[in-house]
Structure 1
Amino acid sequence: MPTFRPDRRALLRGAAAGGGLLGLQGLLPAWAQTGSAGLRADLPTRTGPNVDLTVGHSPFTVGGRTGHAVTINGVLPAPLLRLREGQNVRLSVTNTLDEDTSIHWHGLLVPFQMDGVPGISFPGIRPRETFVYEFPIRQSGTFWYHSHSNLQEAMGHYGPIVIDPAGADPVAYDREHVLVLSDWSFMHPHEILDKLKKSPGYFNRQRTTLSGLISGDDGMSLEERRMWGAMRMDPRDILDVNGSTYTYLINGHGPQENWTGLFRPGERVRLRVINASAMSIFNVRIPGLPMTVVQADGENVRPVEVDEFQISVAETYDVIVRPPEDRAYTVVAEAMDRSGMGRATLAPRPGMSAEIPPLREVPTLTMRDMGMGGMDHGGGGTDHAAMGHGATTQAPAADAPAMDHGGMAMRDPDNAPPDMAVGVGVDMVAPDPANRLGDRPLGLEDVPHRVLVYTDLVSLAPNRDRRPPSRTMEIHLTGNMERFMWGFDGRKFSELVEPIRFERDERVRVTLVNDTMMAHPIHLHGHFFELVTGGPAGHQPLKHTVNVMPGGKVTFDLTADAPGDWAFHCHMLMHMHAGMFNVVTVRPMDGAAG
C-alpha cells in the first residue's frame, strides 16, 4: 500500500472554513486529529439521536510505518459516540467493505435483535448495505463498540461510547479525557492466528533461558524448571500475542507520538479508560499521581484510591486524578507480560512530556497459575491468595507435602467433572482452582504501592435483585495450548454445542473455573452480573466482563432478565475465534413459551 501523506495544514484550513471536519477526518492519521486543547475529551464525536457510521478501508500510520485498517468514518479509533440516558438513538451503519461487517454495542442493554452478533442476533451487514440499529438508552457510563465479524476488531474497527446520566452525575469532575487502549500489528490477524495454531509460542521472545538459570535472573530453581519441562509448558507464556508484533496505542497514538490530555493544576480530571485491544491486558499507572476508581464497566462504585490497576480486554474503568503541580505526568499502559507499553501524557500545556519509566521485570507464572490453589511449590514462590493492595510475602509452610508434577504433563481425566468433554481440546484440568478475586494481578504481587483488586469494588447503588439464586452452574474454561484450541467445558463452539439455557428472570449463581494457564476475560452480552466478592451485602459490583485468572475461579450471580439469544465468550479475540464461545438463550420471549 502506498505511503499516505496528506497536507495537514491545507486540510485543517479547509475544515475550519467549511465546518467539514468529520468529512475530512478519514484523511488524517489519528495523531493529527487528537490532542486536547479543549475542556472535553477531543476524539471525533457524534451525538444522537441520529448517527451515521460508515465502515470502510483506511490506511493507518504509526511509528513511521503505514498499514491497512478497517475503520468507522475513516478514523482509528472510531468516533466517540456521546449519548444521553433516556433518549432513543438511531444508528445507521453503512458497509463499504467487500465482506460482511457488524457492530456490537459492548455493555449496552439493548433488545437482542440490536446486539450486533452475526448468526446469533442478526444476519450481519452485507457489502454496500446499510443496517439501522435503533434502541432506547437505558443506562449511563463508559462503554465501547466494535465489530463481531471476521477479526475486523483487530484491524481498528472499535470506538468509545460515553452516556451521560439523565440526572445528576454522582461523580464530580472538572474535565474529562477518554483513553482508548488498543494493540496494533502490521501483520494481518488471520496470519497471526495461523502462526499461533502452528506454534503457540511464536510471539514469545521472553522465554526462560540457560543464562537466566545460571544468573538467577528468571527467579526459577532447577527443580521448578524440571517441573515446567515435564508439563511441556512455559512459565512465561503470559500473552499469546505481544509486543514482538504489537504496537500499543492510546487513542490511536503509538508510544512515540505522545497523545496529550490537558489539565489545569488542581482540577479533578476524569479519565475514562477503555481496553479495546484484541489480545492485550494492560497494567495502568500514572507515576506520581494517585487514581481514584469511581466506575467499573460503566457502573458506579464506591471511590477507592489506588496507584495502579489492571484492565483486561473489554473492561472499562473510570478514575479521577487531581494533578497538583504545573508539570507533565506520564500515563503508562504496560502490557501484562512487560513486552511493551502504551504511553500518553497529562500536561498543563501542549508539547510537554514527563519521564517514561522503563519496562519492569518479566513476570513468571507459578504453580498457583496451574490451578494448584494456595500451595507454594518452589523455593522462592509467593502465595497471594486473598491479598488486597496491602499484600505481603508469605513463606511456604515447612511441612508442605512434596508433589510429583511429572504426571501433570497433559490432561487429568480422573479430575474432570462428569459433564466435561475431555478430549484433544483439553490439555489439563486444574486440580485445586482458587477464588482469586482478591489476588493482585500477575506481575503486581509485590509492587510497593496500592493495586486494585476485584474485591475492592463495591457498587455505589444497591443491587436491584436481592433474591438468592435458585440454582447453581459451573462452567469450565478449557484449552489445549499446544494446538491453540479453546472452549467451554472441553467443547469448542459449533452448531452442535448446546446453548446455555436460562428461564426468564431466573436467578442463577454461576462459577467460572479456569483450567488453563492463560487469563480469560469472559463477557456476557445483554446482561450485567454481580461478582460474589464477599463485600457489603446488596452492593456486589456489577460487571459485563470479568477476567478469570489462570488456575482461578470466579463466581457471579445473574438475573436472566433479557429475553433472547446472547453471545457468551472470551474477549481474547483469538481465543473466541478458536472456540471459546457459546450462546446464552433466555426464554420465554415476551411472556410466551419459546
Structure 2
Amino acid sequence: MHPTRRDFIALAGGLAGAQAVPGLAWADAPGHVLRAGPAEVQLAPEDFPETRVWAYDGHVPGPTLRRRQGDMFEARLVNGLEQATTIHWHGLRLPNAMDGVPGMTQAAVRPGESFDYRFALRDAGTFWYHPHANSLEQISRGLAGVLVVDEAESPDLDGDEVLVLDDWRLTEDAQVHPEFGNRHDMSHAGRLGNYITVNGEGELRRRYARGTRLRLRLVNAATARVFRLVFQGMTAWVVALDAMPLEAPERVDEVEIGPAQRVDLIVDVTAASGEEAIIGSVERDGTYATVSVSVEGPEQALRTTPRALPPNDLPVLEPSGARRVPLVLEGGAMRGLPDQVRWQGRKTEARALYEAGQFWAFNGQAGMDAEPLVEAALGETVRVPMENRTAFPHSMHLHGQHFREVFTDWKLGPWRDTLVIHPDETREIAFVAENPGDWMFHCHMAAHQMSGMMNWIRIA
C-alpha cells in the first residue's frame, strides 16, 4: 500500500485524494429541515480553491440524521436549487407516497417550494438519502446524506462512524465538471470521477489504540464507481449489508461496495502501537489509502468475534414455486442493443435510440413503459433472474422492499436492496411483494438509469 498524500493525489492526475471525518457530526432535532442549495466546500487540498457544490444544509455529505428504530421520522425538504428536486430515502421500507420519485410517488419539489416527509422507521441500520430528480447531476454535485437508525440495544463498541465514499469529476481548478450525461459516460461505465473522497474531506487521519473496536458504516454515494476496499492492521467483520444484519458476522479481508450499497463493519484495530492501520482502495495502478489510523494510546485486549446484530422483522421468503420474471440487461458500448427496442410505446431502431441518448434496455425495453416490469399481488413471492449481457457492471436497486439472492438448492443470500451484477453474470433474486404501490427498479449507475436502465414494479 502507498498511504502517502502525494501518492494518492497522483492517482487522479493531480486531483485525487482519500479521506474521512467523523460521520456523526451535525446533531439534529426531530423534524429536521434539509435545505438543498448551492454551497462552497474545500474538497481538494488547500492549495486549490473551494469547490462550488450543491449540498444539504451546506455540507458535503449532508447531515447525518440519527434516530431510533420505531421512531416517527419527520423531515422537510426546502428546495433552494434552480431546478426541481426530491429526496429518495434509499433502502427504507416506507409508505409509497414517501419514496421521493417525481411523477410516480410525488410531484417534484419546484424551486423555492418544500415537501414534508413523514414515516415510521421500521428497520434499524444504515440508510442514505439523495435526489431522484435529475439524479446524475444532482448527486454528482454533492446532494447526498446518511440516515442512521439505531438498534434498541447497541453492540459492544468503542466508536461508531459513518464513512461516505464518493468520487468527483473535477476540473483543473477543482470545480465540478459541468458536462453531465455525455454519450461516452452513458454508453460505458458511467460518470467516473478523478477525485475520491470520504465524507468530503481532504485526507483522513485517525488515532486509536490497539484493540479499539469500531463500527464503520460504509456508504457508496458515487454514481458509477464500484469500490474494492482492503484492510491492513485491522480485523474486519461484515455485520450488515444494505442495513440488514447478517445471521452471523462474516470475517473479511476485502469488501466490494457498488453505487448505493452500504456495508456495516465491526473492525478491531490490531496494528501495534506506533504503526498505522489502513483501509485501502484498490485501483488499476495500485492500492491507495483512504483511511489511515495512527495506533497510539493505552492498548486494550483483543476481543472475540462480535455477536450478530439483532435482526429486522423481514417477511418469510419461500422461493420454491414462486413466479419467475426473467430480466435481461443489454446494450452499451462494445455489445450494443438489439436491432429494435421498445421505447416510448413503440419499436425503435437501435440507431435512433443512440441518437436520442438511449443505450441500454431491460428485456428489450429502453426506459419506462406504461406497463410495469412486474405486477405482483400483495404477499406474493417473485423471483427475478437477472442476466447481464453487457460489457459493464450494473448496480441494480429495488425500491420499497428488500430481496435475497437465490442460489442452487434453494440456498439464500443475505437481505439487500442493491446488487452489483458484473458482465456475463446471471444473478437471481427473490422478494416478497410486501409494500403496496408503484416502485422503481433500476440500475443505480445514474448515467445508465437516464439512458435506458429504468423500469418499475406494481404491488397491489
TMscore range, shorter length: 0.7 to 0.9
**More helix per residue: 1 or 2?**
1
Q: Kindly tell me: are residues 477 and 340 of structure 1, through their superposed partners in 2, closer, same or farther at Cα, counting changes over 3 Å?
A: farther
RCO comparison, higher one (Cα < 8 Å, 6+): 2
TM-score between the two structures when normalised by the length of structure 1? 0.62
Distance in 1 (CA, whole Å) between partners of 2:446 and 2:289 is 19
Q: Which residue of 2 aligns with 1:333?
A: 281
2:421 to 548, 552, 560: 548
What pairs with 1:49-68 in structure 2 (closer than 5 Å)? Answer: 49-61=30-42, 62-63=44-45, 64-68=48-52
Corresponding letter in the other structure for 1:583: W
Distance in 2 (CA, whole Å) between partners of 1:142 and 1:555 is 24
Q: Which residue of 2 aligns with 1:486?
A: 360
* Aligned-pair CA distance for 1:529: 0.6
Is residue 470 from structure 1 mapped to residue 416 from structure 2 by the alignment?
Answer: no
Identity %: 29
Any conservation in 2 of the 1:175–1:263 contact (CA below 8 Å)?
Answer: no
Q: Which residue of 2 aligns with 1:84?
A: 68
Corresponding letter in the other structure for 1:485: F
Distance in 2 (CA, whole Å) between partners of 1:189 and 1:535 is 48
1:493-515 Cα shifts (integer Å, max 9, x gaps): 14556443111111111111111
* Aligned-pair CA distance for 1:260: 2.8
Any conservation in 1 of the 2:41–2:53 contact (CA below 8 Å)?
Answer: yes
Distance in 1 (CA, whole Å) between partners of 2:255 and 2:133 is 30
What pairs with 1:513-528 in structure 2 (closer than 5 Å)? Answer: 513-528=387-402
Is residue 70 from structure 1 mapped to residue 54 from structure 2 by the alignment?
Answer: yes
1:272 to 201, 213, 217: 217
Q: Kindly tell me: are residues 129 and 45 of structure 1, through their superposed partners in 2, closer, same or farther at Cα, counting changes over 3 Å?
A: same
Q: Which residue of 2 aligns with 1:310?
A: 256
1:355-409 Cα shifts (integer Å, max 9, x gaps): xxxxxxxxxxxxxxxxxxxxxxxxxxxxxxxxxxxxxxxxxxxxxxxxxxxxxxx
Q: Aligned pair count? A: 398
**What stretches of structure 2 of length at least 5 have no aligned partner?**
1-16, 298-307, 335-353
Distance in 2 (CA, whole Å) between partners of 1:91 and 1:262 is 34
* Aligned-pair CA distance for 1:246: 2.0
Is residue 43 from structure 1 mapped to residue 20 from structure 2 by the alignment?
Answer: no
Secondary structure at 2:28 match in 1:
strand
Distance in 2 (CA, whole Å) between partners of 1:498 and 1:136 is 27
Any conservation in 2 of the 1:485–1:579 contact (CA below 8 Å)?
Answer: yes
Distance in 1 (CA, whole Å) between partners of 2:53 and 2:230 is 29
* Aligned-pair CA distance for 1:460: 6.3
1:502 to 371, 376, 388: 376
Any conservation in 2 of the 1:458–1:536 contact (CA below 8 Å)?
Answer: no
Any conservation in 1 of the 2:360–2:452 contact (CA below 8 Å)?
Answer: yes
Distance in 1 (CA, whole Å) between partners of 2:91 and 2:36 is 21
Is residue 196 from structure 1 mapped to residue 143 from structure 2 by the alignment?
Answer: no
Secondary structure at 1:509 match in 2:
strand
Cα-Cα RMSD: 2.8
TM-score between the two structures when normalised by the length of structure 2? 0.80
Any conservation in 2 of the 1:59–1:67 contact (CA below 8 Å)?
Answer: yes
Distance in 1 (CA, whole Å) between partners of 2:237 and 2:185 is 41
Corresponding letter in the other structure for 2:420: N
Q: Which residue of 2 aligns with 1:126?
A: 110
* Aligned-pair CA distance for 1:173: 1.9
Any conservation in 2 of the 1:180–1:273 contact (CA below 8 Å)?
Answer: yes
1:312-338 Cα shifts (integer Å, max 9, x gaps): 111111111111332322221334x55
Q: Kindly tell me: are residues 139 and 83 of structure 1, through their superposed partners in 2, closer, same or farther at Cα, counting changes over 3 Å?
A: same
Corresponding letter in the other structure for 1:264: A
* Aligned-pair CA distance for 1:348: 4.4
Q: Kindly tell me: are residues 105 and 322 of structure 1, through their superposed partners in 2, closer, same or farther at Cα, counting changes over 3 Å?
A: same
2:141 to 146, 155, 167: 155
1:250 to 198, 214, 218: 198
Is residue 168 from structure 1 mapped to residue 153 from structure 2 by the alignment?
Answer: yes
Q: Kindly tell me: are residues 189 and 472 of structure 1, through their superposed partners in 2, closer, same or farther at Cα, counting changes over 3 Å?
A: farther
Any conservation in 1 of the 2:315–2:432 contact (CA below 8 Å)?
Answer: no
Corresponding letter in the other structure for 2:382: V
Any conservation in 1 of the 2:239–2:309 contact (CA below 8 Å)?
Answer: no
**What stretches of structure 1 of length at least 5 have no aligned partner?**
1-30, 202-238, 351-456, 588-594
What pairs with 1:172-571 in structure 2 (closer than 5 Å)? Answer: 172-186=156-170, 191-196=179-184, 239-242=189-192, 245-253=193-201, 257-301=202-246, 302-324=248-270, 325-326=272-273, 327-335=275-283, 337=284, 343-348=290-295, 464-467=315-318, 468-481=320-333, 483=354, 485-496=359-370, 498-534=372-408, 540-571=413-444
Secondary structure at 1:193 match in 2:
coil
Q: Kindly tell me: are residues 193 and 86 of structure 1, through their superposed partners in 2, closer, same or farther at Cα, counting changes over 3 Å?
A: same
* Aligned-pair CA distance for 1:45: 3.5
Q: Kindly tell me: are residues 470 and 314 of structure 1, through their superposed partners in 2, closer, same or farther at Cα, counting changes over 3 Å?
A: same
